[in-house]
Amino acid sequence: MDIILQQLVNGLTLGSVYGLIAIGYTMVYGIIGMINFAHGDVYMVSSYLTAIAIALLSYFGLESFPIIIFGTLIFTIVVTGAYGWVIERVAYRPLRNSSRLAVLISAIGMSLILQNYVQIAQGARQQGVPTMLTGAIRLDIGDGFVQITYMKLFILFVAFLGMGVLTYIIQKTKLGRMCRATQQDRKMASILGINTDRIISAVFVIGATMAALAGVLITLDYGAFDFYVGFIIGIKAFTAAVLGGIGSLPGAMLGGVILGLSEALFAGLISSDYKDVFSFSLLVIILIFRPSGLLGKPEVEKV
């Protein structure tokens, strides 16, 4: 019993982080219909930025957890947002009217660039950040126990807070309305006076911001990263986005949580060797029965 509960906690935290990164994929896909393969590497850059921010802040003698976490979040989000903007401007905007596959290849090239640029700048070594928040809640259940670190609670809290804020922005603000209009019909939106290029840039920045949030949280929790971490987590997050229905915000979060839970439960109860095989099989099965993902709108075939 305690083991199952612990696995649920593990899956939920992992899944919420997948969800945050999946948002970047799903929003970009929704608006310009491209798979942004460099998104995982944007997350990787934000891991480095987190460590850099922590090192800089402690250099200036700031040691208390709230200040460090707050300063790190702001710094990482701003710089990662700039990365999102520049990447879109340099590698994707010139291809706006080309085939979607051309953009896809450009994104793969961008992913290689980011990985190798960081490797050259920072070296290939494994990096880490010092543990910031220690301690855990321990719940005794029967003869077993469930242990949840404060950091995990913090991750869940911030991830869902970030999701909530983003949903508010998309649903209630003017920027959000313009994003949705552009997603519906880019030509029509620009006829109605929306600067769609700017909206697309904004979407990339928002996606990068969410990746930065995930980057700070994961880096603080696991403490370890290198220039290659973006790859696996990027593929997982993309899977989550598709699972939930690509283009749908709540879908990204739901897909992330389902993927995280299925990985944790399968690894915990059956075998961690085949957990990725299980995740991908689950994806295929869900897509066979719901070809547009769990919350995606079914594609209407127009004549």
Partner 1 sequence: MSKAVVRKTLVSLAVAGAVTMAQADVVIGVAGPHTGAYAAFGEQLWRGAEKAAMDINANGGINGEMIKLVKADDACEPKQAVSIANRLVDSDEAVAVVGHFCSSSSIPASGIYEEAGVLMVTPASTNPTLTERGLPNVFRVCGRDDQQGDVAASYIVDQLGAKRVAILHDKDTYGKGLADAMKSTMNSYGVDEVLYEGLTRGEKDFNAVVTKIRSVDADVVYFGGLHSEAGPLVRQMREQGLTATFISGDGIVSDEFVSVAGSPEYVDGVLMTFGADPTTYSAGKQVVEEFRADGIEPEGYVMYSYTAMQVVAAGLAAADGDPMAASDWLHSHKIDTVMGTKEFDEKGDLLVSDYVMYEWDANGKYSMLNN
Partner 2 sequence: MSQQTKGINIVSALKDTVIAGLLSLIIFGPVVGVLLDGYDFTFQGADVAFIVSIVMAGRFAISIFSQTEFGEAFLYRQATKDDGVVVTAPGYKSRMRFIIPIMIVVGLLVPFIASKYVLTVVILGLIYVLLGLGLNIVVGLAGLLDLGFVGFYAIGAYGLALGYENLGLGFWSMLPLAAIMAAVAGAILGFPVLRMHGDYLAIVTLGFGEIIRLVLTNWTSFTHGPNGISAPLPTLFGLEFKRRSREGTPFHEFFGLPYDSAYKYIFIYLILLLVVLAVLYIKHRLTRMPIGRAWEALREDEIACRSLGLNHVLVKLSAFMLGASTGGLAGVFFATYQGFVNPSSFTFFESALILAIVVLGGMGSTIGVVIAAFVLTVLPEMLREFADYRVLMFGILMVVMMVWKPRGLVRVTRTGFATRKGSAK
Could you say which of partner 2, partner 1, none residue 263 binds, taking C-beta under 5 to 8 angstroms by partner kind? Answer: partner 1
Residue from 229, 240, 243, 286 binding partner 1 (CB under 8 A): 229
The reply to whether 123 sits near partner 2 by the rule CB under 8 A is yes
Query: Per CB under 8 A, does 64 bind partner 1?
Result: no
Query: Distance between the two ends of the chain, CA-based, in angstroms?
Result: 54
Is 139 a residue that touches partner 2 (CB under 8 A)? no
Buried b (16+ CB within 10 A) or exposed e, 139-168: eeeeeeebebbebbebbbebbeebbeebee
Report what 14 binds from partner 2, partner 1, none; CB cut-off 5-8 Å by kind.
partner 1
Count other C-beta atoms under 10 Å from residue 20's C-beta. Answer: 31
Question: Judged by CB under 8 A, which of 14, 91, 241, 283 binds partner 1?
Answer: 14
Kindly calculate the radius of gyration of the chain based on its CA atoms and give it in whole angstroms.
20
Report helix, strand or coil for 220. Answer: helix
H-only helix segments in 123-248: 150-172, 174-184, 186-191, 196-222, 229-244
Chosen residue from 271, 281, 285, 291 binding partner 1 by CB under 8 A: 271
Nearer to partner 1, 119 or 292 (CB): 119
Cα 76 from Cα 42, distance rounded (Å): 11
Instruction: Fill in the DSSP letter of residue 7.
Output: H
Token pair for 265: 């439960």
Considering only 94, 137, 164, 185, the residue that binds partner 2 (CB under 8 A) is: 94
If the CB atoms of residues 132 and 153 are measured against partner 2, the closer one turns out to be 132
Report the residue from 61, 121, 125, 143 that binds partner 1 according to the rule CB under 8 A: 125
Q: Which of 86, 139, 161, 232 binds partner 1 (CB under 8 A)?
A: 232
Question: Which residues within the stretch 126-155 sit at the binding site for partner 1 (CB under 8 A)?
Answer: 126-131, 136, 138, 145, 147, 149
Confirm or reject binding of residue 43 to partner 2 (CB under 8 A).
no
Query: Which partner in partner 2, partner 1, none is near 258 (CB below 5 to 8 A by kind)?
Result: none
Q: Which residues pair with 146 in a beta bridge?
A: 139
Closest CA to 81 of 215, 199, 193, 207: 207
Measured between alpha carbons, how far is residue 193 from residues 87, 182, 186, 188 in Å? 25, 11, 11, 9
Interacting span for partner 2 (CB under 8 A) from 165-173, 187-195, 248-256, 292-300: 292-300
Chain positions contacting partner 1, by CB under 8 A? 3, 6-7, 10-11, 13-14, 116, 119, 123-131, 136, 138, 145, 147, 149, 218, 222-226, 228-229, 231-233, 263-265, 267-268, 271-273, 275-276
